[in-house]
Amino acid sequence: MKKIFITATDTEAGKTFMTEAIMKELTDRRYQVLGFKPVAAGCEETADGLRNADALALQARCSKTLDYQQINPVAFKEPVAPHLAAKKAAQQIDLTQLNQAFDVLQQYQPDFILTEGAGGWRLPLSDTLFLSDLAIQQQMSVVLVVPVRLGCLNHARLTAEAIAHDGLIISGWIANIPDSNMAYLQDNLEALQTLIDAPLIGKVPQVNNADMAAPYLDVTPLL
């Protein structure tokens, strides 16, 4: 079983979109794949409880039918950083809880578990806890999503350095290209390939959904 953590250089970078696309490519290759969104802020109140759109998207892509709480064990209504949402809700995010939820998914023995992060790599869950701690404890490999825009070179290099410092391997990275007319686009892509010591598994232009994004990915380095 392979454990992969999907992170990005920033928030609103396309992590859910790319996680869905990877899940589609893997399931199309007949692999059993589960998605995991350990912490989500910005959830809607429903008759069944708090629901997050990103977590629901991953739930729909899973090879097995899972309860929502198995996909997203920690959910907050406020669309802010999770540690702030937790304080407002008078709750504390516990790494033990996240590990236990992940261990339950492992009991299904899928070929892959894709864990989608929130925000960037060093997202705080409390004053002393970061979401990256879950990836470190579970020894996940990492896929880095880079939205190709002004500032991406610095953000990508710093994120890659932080992941390496934490002792994890970047299995691949994805260039998310929201603007194909960006000035010096090719130069930026070439610079990113130099700055990130990992395989480029996809250059994804602006498309309408994850199914359309999937053909732009080569998930071979993740296998």
**What whole-number distance in Å separates Cα of residue 70 and Cα of residue 55?**
10
The residues carrying an active-site annotation are: 37
What pLDDT does 46 receive? 95
In the predicted structure, residue 175 carries a pLDDT above the cut 90: yes
In the predicted structure, residue 12 carries a pLDDT above the cut 90: no
Q: What is the mean pLDDT of residues 187-212?
A: 97
- Tell me the domains of the chain and their CATH numbers: 2-32+93-222 (3.40.50.300)
Q: Return the SS3 of 126.
A: coil
In the predicted structure, residue 11 carries a pLDDT above the cut 90: no
Using pLDDT thresholds of 50, 70 and 90, give the confidence band for residue 28: very high
Q: Select from 104, 6, 97 the least CA-distant residue to 64.
A: 104
**What whole-number distance in Å separates Cα of residue 219 and Cα of residue 202?**
8
pLDDT (tens digit, 9 = 90+) per residue, 121-162?
A: 999 999 999 999 999 999 999 999 999 999 999 999 999 999
The C-alpha angle with vertex 94 and arms to 133 and 222, in degrees rounded to 5, equals 35
Q: Select from 82, 80, 83, 163 the least CA-distant residue to 121.
A: 163
Using pLDDT thresholds of 50, 70 and 90, give the confidence band for residue 19: very high
**What is the maximum span of the chain, computed from C-alpha positions, in angstroms?**
50
- Phi then psi for 161, rounded to 5 degrees? -65, -40
**What whole-number distance in Å separates Cα of residue 216 and Cα of residue 103?**
31
Using pLDDT thresholds of 50, 70 and 90, give the confidence band for residue 105: very high
Q: What is the mean pLDDT of residues 198-219?
A: 96
33-36 and 2-8: which strand pairing?
unpaired
What pLDDT does 190 receive? 98
Buried b (16+ CB within 10 A) or exposed e, 71-102: bbbbbbeeeebbbebbeeeeeebebeebeebb
